[in-house]
A and B are shown apart, each in its own frame.
Chain A
Amino acid sequence: MTDAGRELYLSAYRTMLLARVLEEKLASLYRGGKIKGGVFLGRGQEALSVSVGIHLRKGDIFAPLIRDQAGRMAFGDTVLDTLRTYLGSQLGSMRGRDGNIHRGRPKEGYYAMISHLGAMIPVVAGGLMARRFRGESGVVGATCLGDGGTSTGAFHEGLNAAAVEKLPLVVVVANNQYAYSTPTSRQFACADLLDRAVGYGVAGHKVDGTDLTACLEVVGRAVEAAREGAGPQLVVADLLRLVGHGEHDDASYVDAELRKSAVGRDCLLMAEAALVERGWATEVEIAGWHEAAETEVDETASRVLREPAPDPAEEEWVAIQSRRLDDRFAEV
């Protein structure tokens, strides 16, 4: 492995670690009643997610989904804004108007997902069309979803439309074996989700989602191909969601055999073992990084917990930018 490859791996690992530590904090804040609404974690999907964010550049477009804490941070999201959004701080990018994973900064190419699965695919495609209209080249747009999301009409329509326009779109599917509680056997009948790539006339890439080395390589190849003008790329990663759908869900429906199988391995532990084995880090160094991540997360959380919540009396309650066109409703 080259020096550049080692640096990329180390950077990806540290981001995965920070995401894992941050998500453990989110779970704890949720259990402590500090977070209102749902908490959806990406445990077990960090290697795949970080590989998407890390291969994108400033100026690219990224529309992550609910299990992409690692990818979000690799693309520039922060511990601070994550905590602000989850804790409803007025200072967060969504200002209490939306929460948890529904955050983004669209003007920076970081699109804020809606809850409807597959819906971000055509939106990223449209963003890429706008870039093309403006004559920008070398831009890539990426979006993530799970196996369940591939069953939506929006996935089909969005990927097909992007293929027709030959847009530099990368769609990354985390085949994490369950859509909430529904196993893949009740989700799709094709032998492999990768088969869908052929149907849309786009390039397909398969990867072991538990293996950071493989994820970095395969996702990197897909992003590069899109950047070079090869049209949409579909990446399908096999892995297992190592948490419930949300923190309210104990995931008792997950097959025990699956947990013990190769797909059920924890990508973070795998990456740590590889670091040590390759001599890129010692166990002591890794423990130090872990501790540094915990300190950063804890300090940021205590800061955000003291920040102001949005004030309903100060809220403008207007949903459009054109203030003169705001409809007025008489109140008693």
Chain B
Amino acid sequence: MSVTYLEAIRSAQGRALADDARVFIYGQDVGNFGGAFKATKNLAKEFPGRVLDAPLSEDAIMGVAIGAAIEGMRPIVEMQFADFSTCGFNQIVNQAATLYYRTEVACPIVVRLPFGGTPGAGPFHSQSMEAIYAHYPGTIVVTPATVEDAYTMLLEAVAIDDPVIFCEHKFLYNHLKAEKLPTDGLPVGRARIARPGRDATIVTYAAMVHESLAAAEELVEDGYEIEVVDLRSIKPLDTDTVLASVCRTGRLLCVGEAWPWGGVTAEVIARVSAEAFGMLDAPPQRLNARDTPVPYHPDLWGTHRPTAGTIADATRRLLEM
């Protein structure tokens, strides 16, 4: 018996619906069809009237969720693909994210964003949106990288009184398996040492955690012990865990699947440079996707984003600095 990352997301939603009458799910095709990725499979049947198909209207979907949250509900919104959340962007960043600061009324919504690249998905079904949403005040942005985190962080997201952008990586949906669902986990806001090491720190999140772990394994043959930090939450960012790791290793590589301009890797390097400059034995480095739309062909896509191989190469260069 094993459980996938996708099943963990479905189970967490089922449990949230069962535990809290304020929870409902709203999104395209989430009802009887069970969602484009089957993340809500059987939930409409199990919870009649609480898993609702929405029109193809991301702005309205978000607006409806916000209004329901104002009235005390705990909506979970599924954006069919993170890429399409740009059509609901205004409601997320200007309505949901400003509500508490402006009115002292909290906006407890969870926006599930199936994100990240998969082979053949192309420019409009592959994007990573976490940095965009983290840029706005008033949001919490999480990027679970494990089956366990997908489950516990989604449950915690529903309990959080603020808008949570839940970035679930599509590449991990069926690739990632665990023995069973966890009973507890680290809270949102805390990073995790995914692999301890002493020679360099790789700070990363979501699918890149697994590429980075594979790179670290490859570097064992070269005699290096690489520490991998899984951020888990993009906002808030667990600066303390990152700084502690960098202080141990003296070297930092940030890896992200998102585009290079600004973003999570830049933010991590800015914080480390400002707060632990003296602890660095080499200039902090980063590895991101290339600065083009995400290409369709698997061969191009595989080169567009960082992989275990390119991460290992970048780490070797960092170690030689």
Contacts of B99 in A (CB 8 A): 106
Q: State which of B57, B67, B102, B237 has its C-beta within 8 Å of the C-beta of A123.
A: B67
Residue of A whose beta carbon sits closest to that of B160: A322
A157 within 8 Å of B (CB atoms): yes
B133 within 8 Å of A (CB atoms): no
B8 within 8 Å of A (CB atoms): no
A122 within 8 Å of B (CB atoms): yes
Stretch at the interface among A22-30, A111-119, A205-213: A111-119
- In the assembled complex, the CB of A133 is this many whole angstroms from the nearest CB of chain B, namely 6
Asked whether, in the complex, the Cβ of B59 is within 8 Å of the Cβ of A123, the reply is no
Residue of A whose beta carbon sits closest to that of B239: A328
B95 within 8 Å of A (CB atoms): yes
Asked whether, in the complex, the Cβ of B97 is within 8 Å of the Cβ of A319, the reply is yes
A195 CA to B38 CA, complexed, in Å:
39
Per-residue B-contact encoding for A93-117, CB less than 8 Å = 1, 0 else: 1100110001011110001101110
A106 CA to B105 CA, complexed, in Å:
7
Per-residue B-contact encoding for A256-268, CB less than 8 Å = 1, 0 else: 0000000000000
Q: Which of A306-329 contact B (CB under 8 A)?
A: 318-322, 324-328
Given contacts A112-B103, A124-B67, A158-B63, whether A133 and B24 have CB atoms under 8 Å apart is yes
Asked whether, in the complex, the Cβ of B57 is within 8 Å of the Cβ of A127, the reply is no
Asked whether, in the complex, the Cβ of B70 is within 8 Å of the Cβ of A123, the reply is yes
Asked whether, in the complex, the Cβ of A161 is within 8 Å of the Cβ of B60, the reply is yes
How many chain A residues sit at the interface, stated as a range, is: 35 or more
Asked whether, in the complex, the Cβ of A322 is within 8 Å of the Cβ of B67, the reply is no
Asked whether, in the complex, the Cβ of B236 is within 8 Å of the Cβ of A328, the reply is yes
- In the assembled complex, the CB of B180 is this many whole angstroms from the nearest CB of chain A, namely 28
Asked whether, in the complex, the Cβ of A114 is within 8 Å of the Cβ of B95, the reply is yes
A125 within 8 Å of B (CB atoms): yes
B82 within 8 Å of A (CB atoms): no
Residue of B whose beta carbon sits closest to that of A329: B271
A238 CA to B17 CA, complexed, in Å:
46
Residue with the greatest number of chain B CB neighbours at <10 A, chosen from A61, A104, A320, A322: A320
Per-residue B-contact encoding for A119-134, CB less than 8 Å = 1, 0 else: 1111111111111011
Asked whether, in the complex, the Cβ of A130 is within 8 Å of the Cβ of B72, the reply is yes
Q: State which of B64, B103, B160, B236 has its C-beta within 8 Å of the C-beta of A129.
A: B64
Given contacts A107-B105, A330-B274, whether A126 and B64 have CB atoms under 8 Å apart is yes
Given contacts A122-B59, A322-B140, whether A130 and B54 have CB atoms under 8 Å apart is no
A233 within 8 Å of B (CB atoms): no
Residue with the greatest number of chain A CB neighbours at <10 A, chosen from B70, B137, B239: B70
Contacts of B106 in A (CB 8 A): 321
Q: State which of B68, B69, B189 has its C-beta within 8 Å of the C-beta of A325.
A: B189
Asked whether, in the complex, the Cβ of A127 is within 8 Å of the Cβ of B71, the reply is yes
Contacts of A156 in B (CB 8 A): 57
Total number of A-B contacts with CB less than 8 angstroms? 156
Contacts of B219 in A (CB 8 A): none
Asked whether, in the complex, the Cβ of A97 is within 8 Å of the Cβ of B60, the reply is no
Given contacts A106-B70, A119-B94, A130-B72, whether A158 and B59 have CB atoms under 8 Å apart is yes
Asked whether, in the complex, the Cβ of B236 is within 8 Å of the Cβ of A119, the reply is no
Contacts of B239 in A (CB 8 A): 328, 330
Chain B interface, >50% SS class: helix
Q: Which of B31-75 contact A (CB under 8 A)?
A: 50, 54-55, 57-73, 75
- In the assembled complex, the CB of B101 is this many whole angstroms from the nearest CB of chain A, namely 4
A94 CA to B101 CA, complexed, in Å:
9
A116 CA to B95 CA, complexed, in Å:
9
B90 within 8 Å of A (CB atoms): yes
Contacts of A129 in B (CB 8 A): 64, 67-68, 73
Contacts of A328 in B (CB 8 A): 236, 239
Asked whether, in the complex, the Cβ of A122 is within 8 Å of the Cβ of B63, the reply is yes
Contacts of A275 in B (CB 8 A): none
Contacts of B65 in A (CB 8 A): 126
Per-residue B-contact encoding for A217-237, CB less than 8 Å = 1, 0 else: 000000000000000000000
A102 CA to B72 CA, complexed, in Å:
21
Asked whether, in the complex, the Cβ of A127 is within 8 Å of the Cβ of B68, the reply is yes
Q: State which of A102, A104, A325 has its C-beta within 8 Å of the C-beta of B140.
A: A325
Contacts of B24 in A (CB 8 A): 133
B171 within 8 Å of A (CB atoms): no
A164 within 8 Å of B (CB atoms): yes
A94 CA to B99 CA, complexed, in Å:
11
A160 within 8 Å of B (CB atoms): yes
Given contacts A106-B70, A130-B72, A160-B55, whether A116 and B64 have CB atoms under 8 Å apart is no
Listed by A's residue number, 28 A-B pairs whose Cβ atoms lie within 8 Å are: A61-B67, A93-B103, A104-B103, A106-B105, A107-B105, A116-B90, A119-B91, A122-B62, A122-B67, A123-B95, A126-B64, A126-B65, A126-B68, A127-B70, A127-B71, A133-B24, A133-B68, A133-B73, A157-B55, A158-B63, A160-B60, A319-B101, A319-B137, A320-B162, A321-B161, A325-B236, A327-B236, A328-B236
- Beyond A124-B67, A130-B67: 17 further Cβ-contacts under 8 Å? A94-B102, A97-B102, A106-B70, A119-B59, A123-B67, A125-B60, A125-B64, A131-B71, A133-B24, A153-B59, A154-B63, A154-B90, A158-B57, A161-B61, A319-B98, A320-B100, A320-B162
Q: Which residues of B contact A (CB under 8 A)?
A: 24, 50, 54-55, 57-73, 75, 87, 90-91, 94-95, 97-103, 105-106, 137-140, 160-162, 188-189, 235-237, 239, 271, 274-275
